[in-house]
Amino acid sequence: MVKESDLTHLNYLRCVVRETFRMHPAGPLLIPHESLRPTTIQGFHIPAQTRVFINTHALGRNRKIWADVDEFRPERHWPADGSRVEISHGADFKILPFSAGKRKCPGAPLGVTLVLMALARLFHCFNWTPPDGETTIDTTEVYGMTMPKARPLLAVATPRLADHTYH
Ligand code: HEM
């Protein structure tokens, strides 16, 4: 069974999770913040006490940053030097699933570990197919403070390991 110590080595799975957060961030506008003092960022003036939203959903679909934005393509995150794929934001700030800075999600390491572990075990233990008669899995979302799926996920799990593994 997959162990926590395996997770740093599962680089393709890490790409899958990063790509999922690029396309489907849990909070599309993160949590609203307020500027304490006036500032200017890349020519945009932000007065003090302005409510600021970070549109991380738009960041993940920004065509100046990403090619083929609507394609789920985990390989795009594969590091040329073989280093570990970063799922929280890296130095380039190209995705911000947990926000950044001093109010960044303090649960990010735990969140990343739980998501990786759940997926790793589900992929290791089962083959997954769409329900009978369907060829794809519907990933349409509802926009709001969070982004739940529009329709419940329906997928068929078939065990792929020896029986005793599941007890
Ligand atoms: C995949 C899982 C998770 C995601 C995608 C996520 C995402 C986020 C985001 C986007 C924020 C807002 C940051 C901002 O203010 O801009 C946040 C805040 C926060 N998260 Fe998470 N989170 C996850 C898991 C967790 C876990 C497991 C915990 C606790 C064990 C946690 C605790 C918190 C807390 C306390 C804040 C508020 C931080 C503050 O305002 O200073 N999160 N999270």
Which of the listed residues 16, 20, 96, 98 should we mutate to test ligand 1's pocket, taking the one with most ligand atoms within 8 A of CB? 98
What pLDDT score does 137 carry? 83
Please tell me the distance between residue 98's alpha carbon and the centre of ligand 1 in angstroms: 6
* Predicted TM-score of the model (pTM): 0.93
What pLDDT score does 163 carry? 93
Distance CA 60, CA 58 (A): 5
What distances in angstroms separate CA 70 from CA 38, 73, 154, one per listed residue?
36, 9, 21
What pLDDT score does 38 carry? 98
Distance CA 75, CA 162 (A): 31
CB of 95 closer than 6 A to ligand 1?
Answer: no
Please tell me the distance between residue 156's alpha carbon and the centre of ligand 1 in angstroms: 31
Report the nearest-CA residue for atom 29 of ligand 1: 107
CB of 31 closer than 6 A to ligand 1?
Answer: yes
CB neighbours of residue 106 within 10 Å: 9
What pLDDT score does 88 carry? 86
Please tell me the distance between residue 99's alpha carbon and the centre of ligand 1 in angstroms: 8
What pLDDT score does 58 carry? 95
DSSP conformation class of 34: E
Per-residue pLDDT of the chain (167 residues; tens, 9 = 90+): 999 999 999 999 999 999 999 999 989 999 999 999 999 999 999 999 999 999 999 999 999 999 999 999 999 999 999 899 999 877 788 999 999 998 999 999 999 999 999 999 999 999 999 998 889 888 889 988 899 999 999 999 999 999 998 88
161 residue type, one letter: L
What pLDDT score does 5 carry? 96
Distance CA 14, CA 120 (A): 10
Is 105 annotated as ligand-binding? yes
Q: Which two tokens stand for residue 99?
A: 């926000």
The shares of helix, strand and coil residues in the chain, as percent rounded to the nearest 5, are: 30, 10, 60
Q: Enumerate the β-bridge partners of residue 34.
A: 51
Report the nearest-CA residue for atom 25 of ligand 1: 107
Q: Which two tokens stand for residue 76?
A: 């795009």
What pLDDT score does 143 carry? 87
What distances in angstroms separate CA 69 from CA 23, 37, 89, 141, one per listed residue?
8, 35, 18, 16
